[in-house]
C-alpha cells in the first residue's frame, strides 16, 4: 500500500527551537507497520539553522511513529532525530543527550515524567477573542471556566485533544487557564497498561502534541504561542510545570525522604536549571502570578508560589512525585528532563 508519512523534526533556531515537517510517500506491506517502514531521509540544514550552505545535508532518523489523524487511515506521523552526514547526533539534537543521561545510570531509577504544557492562542498579533480596542475583564473567572463570555477557543482545543488521542499521544488532560485564551494540556504518566512514562517517550509525545496543536490551528486560523509572557502586565504567563518521580520517590517506605533529598539537590543547582528552562523566563518568574521569583529557590507543600511544589496528596500519602514549577512554556523537554536527572541522580553525562 502507498501512504504518506509526515517526517517531523526539531530545528536549530535559537534561543527557542521550532518544529519542521515534510511528507513523503512510502510503501508499507500487509503486516503491522514497524519503524523499519520509514527510511532515513535528508533535508536542507541551511534553511533550518542546522548547517552552512556549502555542506547543507542533514539526516532525519525516524524514532517514533503514530497514526496521522489528519490524513487518516494508513498514513503516519514520524518523529525524527537530526544527525550529521557522518551519522553522529547533530548539536541541536538534545534527544540524543537525554538518551546518554539515561544510559549513564538514570534509567536504573525508572524515572517518570508528566509535563503541563501551557500555551496562548493568537489571531494574527492579537490574543484570540480579546476585544479589538481594550482588554477582557480582569483575571478570575477564566480558569476552568465555562460559557461564551469566559472561554475563548474551545473548538480548536477539543479538535487538538481528539487528534492527540487518535494519534496515541499520552495526553493526560486539558484545562482553560487563568488568562483568557490561555490553555493547558498535560502529557505524561497516566498509569495505563503498556505505556512508558520515561523521559524520552514523554518528551517525544510532548513535541508531537505541540506539532498537532500548530497543525490544528491552521484549520482555525489560530496560532498557538509558547512565549512565557505573551501579554505584559497583570496577566498570567505560560509555563511547563514538570512533574517527576523516581522508583524511590514512589515507594511508600522511602518516598518522602527521596523527594526531600531531591529538593535539597535541586536547591543547589538553581542557576543551572534556569539556564535551560526556556528563553525569556525572567519575564514570567516575577514572584507574582503563581510563580517564585527567578532569583529565589523555594519549596513547599501545595505552594503555588514555590519553585518546587509537593502536591497535597503526595504529602498526605508520604510518597509520590514532585512538581518543578519553574520551566517556561517554550522549554525543550529533552533538556529539562536531562537537567532534572543529572541533578537529582547526580549523573555526570
* Site residues (vs Mn ion, CB under 5 A): 116, 184, 241
Residue 327 as a binder of ligand ADP (CB under 6 A): the answer is no
Region from 33-41, 79-87, 238-246, 257-265 binding ligand ADP, contact rule CB under 6 A? 238-246
**Which lies closer to Mn ion via its Cβ, residue 144 or residue 165?**
144
Beta carbons of 136 and 145 less than 8 angstroms apart: no
Say which residues have a Cβ less than 8 Å from residue 265's Cβ, sequence separation at least 6.
343, 344, 346
| DSSP for residue 221 | T
Residue 204 as a binder of ligand ADP (CB under 6 A): the answer is no
**Would you list the DSSP string of 116-144?**
EEEEEEEETTEETT--TTS--SPSSS-TT
Which parts of 83-112 interact with ligand ADP (CB under 6 A)? 112
Residue 116 as a binder of ligand ADP (CB under 6 A): the answer is yes
3-class SS at 288?
coil
State in angstroms the smallest separation of the CB of 250 from ligand ADP: 6
**Which lies closer to ligand ADP via its Cβ, residue 133 or residue 313?**
313
- Comparing every residue's Cβ against Mn ion, the nearest one is 241
Region from 184-192, 216-224, 287-295, 335-343 binding ligand ADP, contact rule CB under 6 A? 184-192
Residue 333 as a binder of ligand ADP (CB under 6 A): the answer is no
Say which residues have a Cβ less than 8 Å from residue 218's Cβ, sequence separation at least 6.
none
Plot region of 328 (φ>0 → left; ψ -120 to 50 → alpha; else → beta): beta
| DSSP for residue 330 | T
C-alpha to C-alpha distance for 273 and 147, rounded to whole angstroms: 39
Site string for ligand ADP, 305-324 (x = CB under 6 A): ---------------xx-x-
**Which lies closer to ligand ADP via its Cβ, residue 11 or residue 116?**
116
Torsion of CA 33, 92, 58, 217, to 10 degrees: 60
Residue 297 as a binder of ligand ADP (CB under 6 A): the answer is no
Q: Which of 12, 62, 69, 114 binds ligand ADP (CB under 6 A)?
A: 114
State in angstroms the smallest separation of the CB of 349 from ligand ADP: 21
C-alpha to C-alpha distance for 117 and 45, rounded to whole angstroms: 28
State in angstroms the smallest separation of the CB of 67 from ligand ADP: 22
Nearest alpha-carbon partner for 325 in 255, 248, 273, 279: 273
Judged by the rule CB under 6 A, the positions of this chain that interact with ligand ADP are: 112-114, 116, 172-173, 186, 188-189, 241, 243-245, 250, 320-321, 323
Amino acid at each position: 500500500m502507498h501512504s504518506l508519512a509526515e517526517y517531523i523534526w526539531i530545528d536549530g533556531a535559537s534561543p527557542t527551537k521550532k518544529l519542521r515537517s515534510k511528507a513523503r510517500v512510502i510503501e508499507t506491506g500487509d503486516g503491522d507497520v514497524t519503524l523499519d517502514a520509514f527510511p532515513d531521509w535528508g533535508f536542507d540544514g541551511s534553511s533550518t539553522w542546522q548547517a552552512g550552505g556549502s555542506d547543507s545535508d542533514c539526516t532525519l532518523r525516524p524514532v517514533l511513529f503514530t497514526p496521522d489523524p489528519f490524513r487518516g487511515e494508513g498514513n503516519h506521523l514520524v518523529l525524527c532525530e537530526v544527525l550529521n552526514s557522518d551519522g553522529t547526533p547533530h548539536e541541536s539534537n538534545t534527544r540524543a543527550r537525554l538518551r546518554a543521561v539515561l544510559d549513564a545510570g538514570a534509567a536504573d531509577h525508572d524515572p517518570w515524567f508528566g509535563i503541563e504544557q501551557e500555551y496562548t492562542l493568537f489571531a494574527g498579533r492579537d490574543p484570540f477573542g480579546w476585544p479589538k480596542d481594550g482588554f477582557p475583564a480582569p483575571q478570575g473567572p477564566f480558569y476552568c471556566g465555562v460559557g461564551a463570555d469566559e472561554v475563548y477557543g474551545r473548538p480548536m482545543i477539543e479538535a487538538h485533544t481528539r487528534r492527540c488521542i487518535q494519534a496515541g499521544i499520552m495526553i493526560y488532560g486539558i484545562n482553560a487557564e487563568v488568562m483568557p485564551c490561555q490553555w493547558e494540556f498535560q502529557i505524561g504518566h497516566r498509569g495505563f497498561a503498556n505505556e512508558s512514562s520515561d523521559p524520552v517517550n514523554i518528551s517525544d509525545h510532548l513535541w508531537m502534541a505541540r506539532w498537532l496543536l500548530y497543525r490544528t490551528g491552521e484549520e482555525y486560523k489560530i496560532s498557538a504561542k509558547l512565549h512565557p509572557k505573551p501579554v505584559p502586565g497583570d496577566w498570567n504567563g505560560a509555563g511547563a510545570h514538570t512533574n517527576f518521580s523516581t522508583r524511590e520517590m514512589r515507594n511508600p517506605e522511602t518516598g518522602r525522604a527521596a523527594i526531600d533529598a531531591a529538593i535539597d539537590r535541586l536547591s543547589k543547582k538553581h542557576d543551572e536549571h534556569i539556564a535551560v528552562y526556556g528563553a525569556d523566563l525572567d519575564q514570567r518568574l516575577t514572584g507574582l502570578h503563581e510563580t517564585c521569583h527567578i532569583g529565589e529557590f523555594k519549596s513547599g507543600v501545595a505552594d503555588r508560589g514555590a519553585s518546587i511544589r509537593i502536591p497535597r496528596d503526595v504529602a498526605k500519602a508520604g510518597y509520590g512525585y514532585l512538581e518543578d514549577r519553574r520551566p517556561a512554556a517554550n522549554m525543550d523537554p529533552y533538556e529539562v528532563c536531562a537537567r532534572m536527572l543529572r541533578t537529582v541522580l547526580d549523573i555526570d553525562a
